[in-house]
Structure 1
């Protein structure tokens, strides 16, 4: 093998390795995964909070950003179900239920068509008992949409989540007996894989 052929092979290998590592010959990298974790403490028993947020086909009951919801596939509160939602700004969101667990009082979704400037959006909502009532948690992970500043994408998601959590807190207030011992929900527990 001549030195010229060997040099050509080594250069080809080096370029191929750089492309594989960076995603393209220009060195662009995939967008980083962003997260938003927010929660509120509510002066109501966990079962009351769970009964407010648990129904996959009725987020408009507690999320002021959602004005209408249609279940488009599957059965309510069953992993694999899909819904089509309309927001208060006229945008639409389609997502799928990836996990729902009544015993743990939590569910998770994956968005197919988001209204926000994000992609690969996943969220989990969980209800936990506390000494003074309930903690409602909302965790989200996502990437900024192409040509969107990650800080702006994260701010938009955080605003939407915080607005919904505060709305639930105001809805339920402190007039519901938070000192009642939490009981196991009577709902049948669905497959919780994916949580």
Structure 2
């Protein structure tokens, strides 16, 4: 049996615990994964996307994508978006043999995200290629009650749209050759 003082503390702890989920907290990390199967060998697909500066060659939204150190870890890719907007990304890992690389953008630039990390990879799917593009990020507005254009839903929609548009166009570009 709890004494009255202990009972009061337990009751207060319960009230605080119940209130905590509604209390202020920052954003949660969001994740997006998109895949496409391309009717080509993995090597043929990798040849199209392997260079860190090649995004402009297959993503319809990208006008320019120069990378200052090519495929060397630490290389910075400066993206210019068709119609305006920019984003800077740095190469974190590069595995030519494993057909994958990862990159990071601290500031989302043209996208409503922050602390964005992404990996794109190619692997065999029978005689075809499976391309997977995955990312993790926080919404663009770090505080509570973000505006609709910078909330979790907007961030997920934006990254999903980027990945889907890129992968659909990559499929078209590679399969048309």
Residues 119-142 of structure 1, C-alpha deviations (whole Å, 9 max, x = no match)? 011100000011131001000100
TM value normalised by structure 2: 0.80
Q: Cα RMSD (Å) of the superposition?
A: 2.0
Separation in structure 1 between the aligned mates of residue 54 and residue 63 of structure 2, nearest angstrom = 10
Q: 1:105: which partner in 2?
A: 99
Structure 1 position 61 matched with structure 2 position 57: yes
Gaps of 5+ in 2: 1-12
Separation in structure 1 between the aligned mates of residue 55 and residue 129 of structure 2, nearest angstrom = 19
Shift of 1:42: 0.3
Separation in structure 2 between the aligned mates of residue 81 and residue 151 of structure 1, nearest angstrom = 30
* Aligned counterpart in structure 2 of residue 124 of structure 1, from 110, 119, 122: 119
Q: 1:181: which partner in 2?
A: none
TM value normalised by structure 1: 0.72
Separation in structure 2 between the aligned mates of residue 135 and residue 68 of structure 1, nearest angstrom = 25
Shift of 1:174: 6.9
For the residue of structure 2 that corresponds to 1:110, the secondary structure is strand
Give the ranges of 4+ consecutive aligned residues of structure 1 lying more than 6 Å apart after TM superposition: none
Greater share of residues in helix = 2
- Asked if structure 2 preserves the Cα contact closer than 8 Å seen for 1:93 and 1:112, the reply is no
Residues 14-54 of structure 1, C-alpha deviations (whole Å, 9 max, x = no match)? 9xxx9xxx8xxx94212111010000000001111001001
* Aligned counterpart in structure 1 of residue 153 of structure 2, from 151, 154, 165: 151
- Asked if structure 1 preserves the Cα contact closer than 8 Å seen for 2:107 and 2:115, the reply is no
Equivalent residue pairs, number: 152
